[in-house]
Structure 1
């Protein structure tokens, strides 16, 4: 797990402990730690933000990840879909007014809380685990 073009400053494991999301590049990289772990494998890449500012996995085993960017967008992902080396696109995007996302947190499986660097905080009701 090397070769990041930028310093890694955000890491998040999902509830199963099998999936690790990391920044350190314009893409979020998602590593599979199941089986023998990620050694010798390629990650999935999630592309939406020019600069990633927040990461959080949805509670439960569905493989849903929320990411926030410097541009203010929040992306919702089926982050464990596809094959290694896949470049995934967001299942859904929220907001994007130019103010950087400061933090993301789930309050249970259906409520995503977002905070922006200008002090705004908003709660989003997100559909069931099988849909975003």
Structure 2
């Protein structure tokens, strides 16, 4: 049976993630908590807006109401990467070769490992950013589509157009697909294979959600894309050359009218952790749909899920601050 070690934090917790086998919790207050031989707290921001685990390095990237962008190491050390007074930083992303990105208004910025900063401007406000898995390529989601910028060269951006507001963006692990979450309770995707301009991009429409999609997670090898926004985790198949087109998604962890708020694939196995609006967490195996209760309902909606490097521990955060770590091996 899985066992839960609770960890209570005052107020809304934005993100949880593991750096190695140490669990971190980023609170909206600006405090970074880490469970490293006991609880330790780092004062990072005067109001934290976003925190992501850098997929390319063992660190966290944060942005705040204080206009600062920070990198938090596994030992809790803080490095300031940007400081833009009187601006709120609500979008950050980790990139390859020590690069990272952040967005302010209609501009996205790529900070290279040597400290050089490159700015890319859009016609509309940048809502989300993400780096491709290979190469210094940044996706900037905005109204009516996504711009793909090469940060290491002076090439023209590729425009992926689709009408509507795009509020999140992600590359598939193999770099073949770009997928966005939209304001209109839908996902939209583009197949990039062989694309030379936006007209040749193959569109992928993933609709039917009763609510906005706020959480996306790829399976370890990119065969599946899990999403929130329904009373089940909606998991789209991406193993074919055309992605999910013409195929129905899996619906995992269905719970009547209780909405899924977070999804997180295990780092090596096709097991999906599903967090719900009532604080409950399920683990579901893709191959047969078998479910395991990882945590009973709590005080608030699950706001973040993160697996440890070993894949044995699952950290969870909530909007009410009742957080913790699940040992799935018991």
Structure holding more strand per residue: 2
Short-chain TM bin:
0.7 to 0.9
Higher relative contact order (CA 8 A, sep 6+): 1
CA contact (8 A) 1:70 1:98 kept: no
TM-score (norm 1): 0.81
Query: In 1, Cα distance between the equivalents of 2:208 and 2:322?
Result: 35
Can you give the 5+ residue segments of structure 1 that lack an aligned partner in the other structure? 83-87
> Gapped runs of 5+ residues in structure 2?
1-205
Which residue pairs with 2:274 in the alignment?
Answer: 67
Q: Which residue of 2 aligns with 1:11?
A: 216
The CA distance in 1 between the partners of 2:321 and 2:251, in whole Å, is 30
Shift of 1:22: 1.0
Deviation at 1:33, TM superposition (A): 0.4
Report the alpha carbon displacement of residue 4 of structure 1 after superposing the two structures with TM: 1.9
**Residue pair 2:300, 2:318 contacting (<8 A) in 1 also:** yes
Whether the aligned pair in 2 keeps the contact of 1:52 and 1:70 (CA below 8 Å) is yes
Deviates more, 1:28-37 or 1:97-106: 97-106
Structure label with greater radius of gyration: 2
Query: Is 1:77–2:284 an aligned residue pair?
Result: yes
Q: Which runs of 4+ in 1 moved over 4 A?
A: none
Correspondence for 1:126: 328
Q: 2:297 aligns with which of 96, 108, 114?
A: 96
| Residue aligning to 1:39 | 245
Counterpart Cα distance in 2 of 1:100 and 1:8: 15
How far the C-alpha of 1:63 sits from its partner, in A, is 0.8
TM-score by length of 2: 0.34
SS of residue in 1 equivalent to 2:291 = coil
